[in-house]
Structure formats: structure tokens, C-alpha cells
């Protein structure tokens, strides 16, 4: 029996799939030093395994997206999860750092297949229904982000760093079984659709020239860059400059993750009560921008009370949680026949923007203040708000004035 798209089980499946890449990063953080001891490498060298994983996460979706549009979401998910399981086993058995780096890169390629989660939502849901599903997926991802480091530390203490990769293999295998036997294909596959380079290039050309999808992709990328700047800069500032203990910073990180979840849940609740996507998106972006600018002003003034800084960071996270479901819904709405390519392009551009923001924060960190973090956050958050108000929203209104869209809340899976 397949899992019904309207069911809680289906929402849980989507959330678990979307959480695979994020948990693959966070669950390994506590084990960098222990892994280095075993493999005869420094913790900073083992940290390259994170870079290898994230590099493949950024690149692989660009292939998976068009493939899933033409062959279906299910075979792409099954292939990616199988690859993730095999690579996780390889990581657990790795005898040296170079082998671990290779396996982590392959593991990221496998995990990247779960980027089709948003395409699956677009296949099945429209409008507020899609927005609600995306919000639920965000909640699941943030729960995984909060739990993963603690789970990794527990596994490390109980059975060594290899058990962390063994656990990832086990989780990947369970998801693979559910996808293989309980998940029905959701994509509409055109008989004439061909998986050839020219078709793939044409899909991305359509995405990157679409008058509505592209502006919303850029809004999502700049909004995401705000969060990447926080993730990189907050640990540098609170631990390196303020002198907080790592466990104290962990509480701050968890509080901000909870704020993202709260924003996503609030968006879902208000959406069900009639709050428009445009209003919630504008509200979320404005909150993030205002809090980021306030942080920058405080940094320049040299007045940074920790409690207020944490409150403003949580406000940025709350705004991100309010805005992201609406950004993704608007991004995916206009090109349903190539939803895989849209999702892949959006994810890759957001990761690229995030990597740039993180790099700027790390390179410009002065060891004393939060200036590199707050400056990048303010610039990215303001750019996101300006792009939405002056480019994305006007383009959306122009297109809405030319077309009348059906108010369909849910579609039936096709080709199942």
C-alpha cells in the first residue's frame, strides 16, 4: 500500500528525506577530533570531509533535477538513497583520510537526491496547501538540526565515530525501503521527454529566464545567505570573542533553530486562517532585515549585550522561518512541468550564496567583534527585502494580471 499524500505519514516521509543532507553535516561535528586521532590527521584536516560533503550537495542536484523531471522522482530518490547507504558504510570502514574524503563526497551525491522533496510537493500540491507542506518540511529539518549534534555525541561516546556513519547507513536504508515499496511516483512524465543535454540545458534556461521564478530564487538565496552568515559568524563571535563555552553556544544555536521552526509553524497556522503568502513573506523578510540592521548598528556602536544579541538573532531566524515556505512555493509555482530543475537551481544557487556569505564572514572576522557577521547579515537581508519588494512581487503581480489560475489544493499522483 502506498502512503497517501494527505496523510501525516507522507508529511513525515518528506521531512525525513529533506533532513538527510542537514543531518549528514551536523551529526558528524562532535566526532572530528576523534576521527582525526584514529586516521592520524588533525581535526582541521578531517573538517575537509564537511567541505567535500557540501560540495557534492551543491553540484549533484543540478543533475538530479532534470533527470527526475524526465524519469520520475522515485527512481532518483531510490538511486540517491542507495548511494548514500553504500557511501555511509564506506565512511565507517575508511582506513585513511583520503578514503574518507572520497566516501563523504559520494555520500553527499547520494544525499543530494533528496532535493527532489520540493519538486514532489509541487507535483501534488498548489497554493496554500504547498506552502503548508513546505513549512512542515522545514520544521522536520530544524528538528534534525537540533537533534543531530547530540545524537552524534552520544554515538561517539557509545561506539566510536564509525557508529555515526553506521547510523546514517541504517537511516538511509529504512528510507530506501519506504521509497521503494510505499512511495508512488508523483511526476507527470511526458512520453516525448528525452534526457539529452539539450533538453537539460533548455530546462535551466527556462528557469533562469523566467520573470517570476528567477527573482524568487534570488530572494531565497539572499535570505538564505543571511542565515549562513549567522551560522558561521555566531560560533566565531560567541566562542572566540565573547568566550562562551561550546555548550552555551549550543543552547543559542538550538534557540535559533527553534525560532525557525516557530516561524514555519506560525506561517502554516496563519495561512490556514487566510493570511496571504505575499503578506507573510514581506513580514518575514522585514523582520530579518530589521533585526540584522539593528545588530550591525549595535556592533558599530560597540554595545553588544549578549541577551539582546541572541534575541535579535532569534528574530532573524523567526523571519526566515516565516518567509522560506512562501519563497519556495512562489519559486515552484510557475513551472510545474520542470519542478525538479526549478528545485535544483534554487537549491544550488542558495548554497552558492550561502558559501560566499560564510566565506566573507570567516575571512573578515577580526577575533574581537561581530562586525563581519552583522555586516554580511544586514547586507544580505536588506538585499532580499529589496529584491522582493522591487522585483519579485511586481513581476508576480504582472503575471497574475495576465492569467487566471485554478484554485486547486491537491492533485492526484500520476504514473503511480
- What is the C-alpha separation between 303 and 297, in angstroms, rounded? 9
Q: Residue 206: which pLDDT band, with cuts at 50, 70 and 90?
A: very high
19-28, 255-264, 311-320: which range is least confident on average? 19-28
One fold for 1-187 and 201-399: yes
Q: Which residue has the higher pLDDT, 415 or 152?
A: 152
DSSP 183: P
The whole-number pLDDT of residue 187 equals 80
Nearest CA among 252, 383, 398, 245 for reference residue 311: 252
Nearest CA among 103, 102, 94, 105 for reference residue 39: 94
Nearest CA among 164, 291, 303, 271 for reference residue 229: 291
Question: Mean pLDDT over all residues of the chain?
Answer: 87
The whole-number pLDDT of residue 338 equals 86
Q: pTM for this structure?
A: 0.81
Q: Residue 191: which pLDDT band, with cuts at 50, 70 and 90?
A: low
The whole-number pLDDT of residue 410 equals 44
The whole-number pLDDT of residue 87 equals 96
**Over residues 19-26, mean pLDDT:** 83
The whole-number pLDDT of residue 175 equals 96
Polymer length in residues for the chain: 416
Given a contact cutoff of 8 angstroms between Cβ atoms, the answer to whether 87 and 104 are in contact is yes
**Over residues 405-410, mean pLDDT:** 45
- Statement: 1-187 belongs to CATH 1.20.1250.20: yes
The whole-number pLDDT of residue 181 equals 93
Percent of the chain with pLDDT over 70: 94
Q: For residue 398, give Cα distances in angstroms to 111, 211, 273, 335, 411.
A: 37, 10, 26, 16, 26
The whole-number pLDDT of residue 369 equals 92
Percent of the chain with pLDDT over 90: 41
What are the boundaries of each domain within the chain? 1-187, 201-399
- CA of residue 29 relative to chain centroid, distance: 18
- Beta-carbon count within 10 A of 23 CB: 24
- Per residue in 263-280, pLDDT tens? 988 988 888 888 888 999
- CATH number listed for the domain at residues 201-399: 1.20.1250.20
The whole-number pLDDT of residue 190 equals 64
Amino acid at each position: 500500500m502506498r502512503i497517501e499524500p494527505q496523510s501525516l505519514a507522507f508529511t513525515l516521509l518528506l521531512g525525513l528525506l529533506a533532513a538527510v543532507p542537514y543531518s549528514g553535516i551536523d551529526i558528524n561535528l562532535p566526532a572530528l577530533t576523534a576521527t582525526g586521532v584514529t586516521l592520524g590527521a588533525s581535526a582541521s584536516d578531517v573538517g575537509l570531509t564537511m567541505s567535500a560533503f557540501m560540495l557534492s550537495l551543491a553540484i549533484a542536484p543540478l543533475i538530479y533535477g532534470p533527470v527526475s523531471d524526465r524519469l520520475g522522482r522515485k527512481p532518483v530518490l531510490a538511486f540517491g538513497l542507495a548511494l548514500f547507504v553504500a557511501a555511509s558504510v564506506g565512511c565507517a570502514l575508511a582506513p585513511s583520510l583520503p578514503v574518507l574524503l572520497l566516501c563523504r563526497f559520494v555520500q553527499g551525491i547520494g544525499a543530494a537526491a533528496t532535493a527532489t522533496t520540493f519538486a514532489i510537493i509541487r507535483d501534488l500540491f498548489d497554493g496554500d496547501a504547498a506552502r503548508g507542506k513546505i513549512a512542515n518540511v522545514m520544521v522536520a529539518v530544524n528538528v534534525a538540526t537540533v537533534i543531530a549534534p547530540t545524537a552524534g555525541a552520544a554515538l561517539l561516546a557509545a561506539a566510536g565515530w564509525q557508529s555515526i556513519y553506521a547510523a546514517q547507513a541504517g537511516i538511509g536504508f529504512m528510507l530506501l525501503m519506504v521509497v521503494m515499496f510505499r512511495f508512488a511516483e508523483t511526476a507527470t512524465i511526458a512520453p516525448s521527454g528525452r534526457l539529452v543535454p539539450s533538453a537539460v540545458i533548455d530546462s535551466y534556461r527556462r528557469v533562469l529566464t523566467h520573470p517570476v521564478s528567477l527573482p524568487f530564487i534570488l530572494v531565497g538565496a539572499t535570505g538564505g545567505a543571511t542565515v549562513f552568515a549567522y551560522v558561521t559568524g555566531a560560533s566565531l563571535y560567541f566562542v572566540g570573542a565573547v568566550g562562551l563555552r561550546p555548550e552555551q553556544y549550543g543552547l543559542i544555536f538550538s534557540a535559533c533553530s527553534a525560532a525557525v521552526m516557530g516561524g514555519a509553524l506560525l506561517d502554516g497556522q496563519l495561512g490556514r486562517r487566510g493570511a496571504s503568502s505575499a503578506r507573510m513573506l514581506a513580514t518575514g523578510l522585514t523582520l530579518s532585515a530589521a533585526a540584522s540592521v539593528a545588530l550591525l548598528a549595535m556592533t558599530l556602536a560597540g554595545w553588544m549585550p549578549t541577551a539582546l544579541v541572541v534575541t535579535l538573532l532569534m528574530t532573524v531566524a523567526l523571519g526566515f522561518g516565516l518567509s522560506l515556505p512562501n519563497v519556495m512555493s512562489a519559486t515552484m509555482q510557475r513551472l510545474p512541468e520542470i519542478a525538479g530543475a526549478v528545485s535544483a537551481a534554487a537549491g544550488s544557487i542558495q548554497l552558492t550564496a550561502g558559501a560566499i556569505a560564510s566565506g566573507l564572514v570567516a575571512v573578515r572576522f577580526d577575533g574581537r567583534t561581530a562586525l563581519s557577521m552583522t555586516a554580511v547579515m544586514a547586507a544580505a537581508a536588506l538585499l532580499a527585502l529589496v529584491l522582493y519588494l522591487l522585483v519579485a512581487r511586481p513581476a508576480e503581480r504582472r503575471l497574475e494580471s495576465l492569467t487566471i489560475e485554478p484554485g486547486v489544493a491537491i492533485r492526484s499522483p500520476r504514473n503511480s
